[in-house]
């Protein structure tokens, strides 16, 4: 898609993948941080990671396995909390631990079998060996994530504002909420091979956290977060490939630096401090 700008195929695919993955994650990061379900996003990322590890071990398509695992976890949290009479937070903590244990077990076991290299890509991401089809899939999920927000914008913003108020004004909160979790799980699963299970969480939180420092309106956050994420991710990919540095970890560090700078420069915070 960007071949007319970037001639090198590997670099081109890497930039495209980072662009689509970052935009998809960033628009969803606004939902994740504002509905305050970051722990669900965190657990889903690790469930997808565990699913992919199991898939690799069993020679089943890791992407399909990670989608199944991510969605299952999203839909398990409620019933598990009710049945075991645990708070959702405790249920998420348990599920996170179990997912992490499963993922590490299979990665370690594959290393003993000499298949460790491909499994390591799940941990820290891999943008080098991408097929064109994988980039198309990322472009598709990017469109799905944006379309989801555009189509259900009213309902999503009301749920972000307050779930109980959203329910009281006549919005069917549960179906929209579960649709949100499904789109997040799908995005997480498809972005996992690019960004890696351990770093994906940065993409799901940092863009919205940066945008919030400058935006008074949610609509602005939905524009600023993906723009910032795209710029940081493309920069990370170009710099990483140019100097042979690991792309996803480098980009995650860039996100952290930009977040710190945003907090220091935020006009919204300055107003708050002055008020105090």
Write out the residues near another protein by the rule CB under 8 A. Answer: 34, 82, 85, 151-152, 154-155, 157-158, 161-162, 164-172, 212, 215-218, 220-221, 268, 271-272, 275
88 or 246, CB closer to another protein? 88
CB closer to another protein, 24 vs 212: 212
- Cα distance between residue 63 and residue 29, in whole Å: 21
- Tell me, what DSSP letter sits at residue 129? S
CB of 172 to another protein, least distance (A): 6
Give the helix ranges, DSSP H, for 7-37. Answer: 9-34
Nearest approach, Cβ of residue 146 and another protein (Å): 16
**Between residues 143 and 271, which has the closer beta carbon with respect to another protein?**
271
Nearer to another protein, 4 or 274 (CB): 274
- Both tokens of 57, joined, read 């071990």
Q: Which is nearer to another protein, 59 or 275 (CB)?
A: 275
Whole-number minimum distance, CB 25 to another protein, in Å?
19
Q: How far is the CB of 149 from another protein (least distance, A)?
A: 13
DSSP string, 245-267: --HHHHHHHHHHHHHHHHHHH-H
Q: Are 55 and 44 in contact (CB under 8 A)?
A: no
138 versus 211: smaller Cβ distance to another protein: 211
Overall residue count recorded for the chain in this entry: 276
Q: Supply φ then ψ for residue 50, to 5 degrees.
A: -65, -40
Which residues lie closer than 8 Å to 129 by C-beta, 6 or more apart? none
Sign of CA dihedral 41, 44, 49, 55: negative
112's CB contacts (< 8 A; 6+ apart) are none
Closest CB to another protein among residues 107, 212: 212
Min CB(54)–another protein separation in Å: 33
Q: Following DSSP, what letter does each residue of 197-248 receive, concatenated?
A: TTTHHHHHHHHHHHHHTT-SSHHHHHHHHHHHHHHHHHHHHHHHHHTT--HH
């Amino acid at each position: 898609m960007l071949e007319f700008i970037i001639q090198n195929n590997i670099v081109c695919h890497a930039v495209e993948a980072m662009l689509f993955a970052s935009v998809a994650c960033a628009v969803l990061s606004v939902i994740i941080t504002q509905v305050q379900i970051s722990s669900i996003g965190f657990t889903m990322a690790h469930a997808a990671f565990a699913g992919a590890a199991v898939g690799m071990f069993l020679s089943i398509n890791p992407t399909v396995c990670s989608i199944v695992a991510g969605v299952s976890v999203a839909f398990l949290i409620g019933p598990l909390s009710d049945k075991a009479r645990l708070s959702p937070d405790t249920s998420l903590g348990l599920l996170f631990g179990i997912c992490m244990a499963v993922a590490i077990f299979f990665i370690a076991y594959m290393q003993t079998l000499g298949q460790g290299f491909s499994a390591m890509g799940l941990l820290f991401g891999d943008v080098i060996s991408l097929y064109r089809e994988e980039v198309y899939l990322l472009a598709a999920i990017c469109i799905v994530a944006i379309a989801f927000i555009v189509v259900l914008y009213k309902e999503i913003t009301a749920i972000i504002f307050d779930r109980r108020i959203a329910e009281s004004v006549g919005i069917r909160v549960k179906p929209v909420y579960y649709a949100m979790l499904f789109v997040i799980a799908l995005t997480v699963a498809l972005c996992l091979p690019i960004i890696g299970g351990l770093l994906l969480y940065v993409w799901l939180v940092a863009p919205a956290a940066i945008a919030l420092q400058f935006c008074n309106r949610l609509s602005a956050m939905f524009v600023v977060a993906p723009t910032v994420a795209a710029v940081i991710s493309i920069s990370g990919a170009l710099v990483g490939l140019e100097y042979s540095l690991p792309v996803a970890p480098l980009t995650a560090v860039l996100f952290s630096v930009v977040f710190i700078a945003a907090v220091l420069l935020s006009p919204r915070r300055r107003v708050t401090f002055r008020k105090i």
